[in-house]
Structures are given as C-alpha cells and as structure tokens.
Amino acid sequence: MKKNLFILGMMACSMTMLGQTNDDSADKGWYVKLGASYFGQTAATEFPTVGGNLPLSRTYVGGKLVSEESVTGSFGEGFRTGITGGYRFNTRIGVEVGVNYYSSTDKTMAQTVSDVPITPAGVYNFKSVGQITAFDVAPALVLFLGEHNGFEPYSKVGVIVPVHGDLEITTDAYAPIAFNATTGAPTAFGDVRSVDKVKPNPTLGFMATLGTSYKLGKNISAFAELEYRNFTVHGKTKETTDFTINGNDALATRSNAQINTNYVNKLDVNSNNALTNPNGLDSTRPKDELSSYVGISGLGLTLGLKYNL
C-alpha cells in the first residue's frame, strides 16, 4: 500500500509540474524506443500448492524425512524485450506506452528428493518447475529533468496491464502408474511427466523508473533505465496440456477433472471437489480448487535506443 501511495504521489507531483511548466515547442514531438531488460526478483513469497503438493522441499534418507523447508520465490526474475511509443508535450512532461514480452527464469515450486525410489510410506521423487511468459501494455507519465552535456535524466511512473500469458508448470516424478482395483494400493511405478498451464485473471501492476538518455546524433539517443515493477497474478483456470508415462503419451487416460481446473474463492458443498462435496468428485467436469497467486516483483535494467520522429 505504501508503495502505491508513493507512486501516486510522484504522479501528482508530475502533474503539478506540468501545470507550472512553460511550453517549449522545440521539445515537442513523437519518439520510439527499442530496449531489452534483465530483472532480478525483489520479494520472495511462498509458492502456491502445485498439483496437491505443498510448496516444500523435502529430503528423505532411508525412507525417513531428514530435512524440510518452505519453497519461496518470485517470478519477477527474467528477461524482457519491448517497443515503446512516446509523445513529449514540452521540456518537462511526456507520456509513453510500452508493449513488452516477458519471460521469467525457471523456478522450483515444490520437490521431494529421496535416496530410494519409493519409501515405505509411499513417498517418491518429484520436482515441479514453473515459468511465466507474458505480453503486457505499460502506459506511463514521464518527467524529464533537463539535458546536460548530452545526458538527459528522467523519471516515469505508470501501470502494467498484462494482456496475454500463462504460468507453465512442468512436473517430473517417479510415481505410481497402476493400482490394485480392490485396495487402491500401487502395483507399478514409472517416470511420469505432466505440463500444466495456468491462465490468469485480469490484474494490474505498478512501475517506477529512473533513467537517462545520451544523444548520439540529431534524432537518435541511447538510453538506460532502472525500473521497479510489482504485481501479483491470480489463477483463473488450469489445463494439463501434456502427460506422459515412461515417455509415452497418456493424456487420453486422464479424466476431465484431472485435466481441467477452475480456480474459485470458496469451496462449499456445491463445488466439484471431494473435500467439500458430499457426493464426491464428478470426474466428467473440471475440478474446483481454491484460487492462488504468484508474485512478479523485480528490479531491472533496460538498455536500448531512442529515435525522435
């Protein structure tokens, strides 16, 4: 909340300066920027439950649990490329709208490591790794601070609107693949891989940037920006797009409830979830699960070129 108030305060100050700044027609005009960025994560939170597995890293030796820790992180670490169009009203004030493609680095969300394939308690090795890819639109208000010796520092504040993307979670496990029809006990084990894609609900993020440009020619400049961005993404639906057993496609063996999930804010007796519905799970319909979220907060450096039209 404090960060949002700080950003809003910067915007208010910028608007005040707009009203106080005399128009300078020499600085007016359109420009376009091309840049590439690398972001590092700035805040780590606990990851959500993945396929029924808690966000934990567990180690077993001889079938006994010897260590356990929470798995935390942020999908704010990664690479971004983008194009930005801008218009400068006068010496001090301008606006920009960026269109960006972002790809996060892989993040381990849950895992179990055991020195034996299957422990007496039925624990087996698995690892779930997530990655976010997304396109976003980022409108911003720009405050230019004045040019000196070719350098012109500036600041900008704005919002981030994701328009397309997903969280892809890949899970590799050595797990039960066949069960006794009477007792339900595992009768065979194998290598299982699943790929789930989580689609998000609409969301809105905030960004604040400090940058500078350096004039290389009459209409072209190089620029560098230090940007802080912060927002969270809530899951809307999840779909298993790939499921293999020992390298063989087995997606057709999965039920609708195993392939598709709807994320909801509350589970009750009417939800398609065996935990709360007295009639159990209807395997012909998508499963209902509680909505979860992941954080995408990061501090990044952008380098690129700017061309005045």
Q: Are 261 and 237 in contact (CB under 8 A)?
A: yes
Name the domain count of the chain. Answer: 1
> What are the angstrom distances between the C-alpha of 81 and each of 101, 110, 166, 186?
5, 29, 17, 48
pLDDT of 6:
47
**Alpha-helix residue ranges (DSSP H) falling in the chain:** 2-20, 256-259
Non-local CB neighbours of 218 within 8 Å, separated by 6+ positions: none
pLDDT tens track for 163-193: 999 999 999 998 888 888 888 777 888 999 9
Q: Which residue has the higher pLDDT, 231 or 95?
A: 95
Integer Cα distance of 199 and 76 in angstroms:
17
Residue 109: domain span: 2-308
> What does the pLDDT average to over 224-229?
97
pLDDT of 12:
45
pLDDT of 47:
87
> What does the pLDDT average to over 111-116?
88
- Checking if the pLDDT of 84 tops 50, the result is yes
Confidence label for 16 from pLDDT (cuts 50, 70 and 90)? very low
Non-local CB neighbours of 149 within 8 Å, separated by 6+ positions: none
Confidence label for 62 from pLDDT (cuts 50, 70 and 90)? confident
What DSSP character marks residue 148? B
Confidence label for 267 from pLDDT (cuts 50, 70 and 90)? very high
- Checking if the pLDDT of 217 tops 80, the result is yes
Q: Above pLDDT 70, what percent of the chain?
A: 91
pLDDT of 121:
67
pLDDT of 2:
44
Mean pLDDT in the chain? 88
> What are the angstrom distances between the C-alpha of 99 and each of 8, 36, 136, 165?
22, 12, 6, 13
pLDDT of 243:
96
Please report the sign of the dihedral spanned by the C-alpha atoms of residue 150, residue 156, residue 162, residue 168.
positive
CATH of the domain at 286: 2.40.160.20
Q: Above pLDDT 90, what percent of the chain?
A: 67
pLDDT of 54:
87
pLDDT of 24:
54
- Checking if the pLDDT of 9 tops 90, the result is no
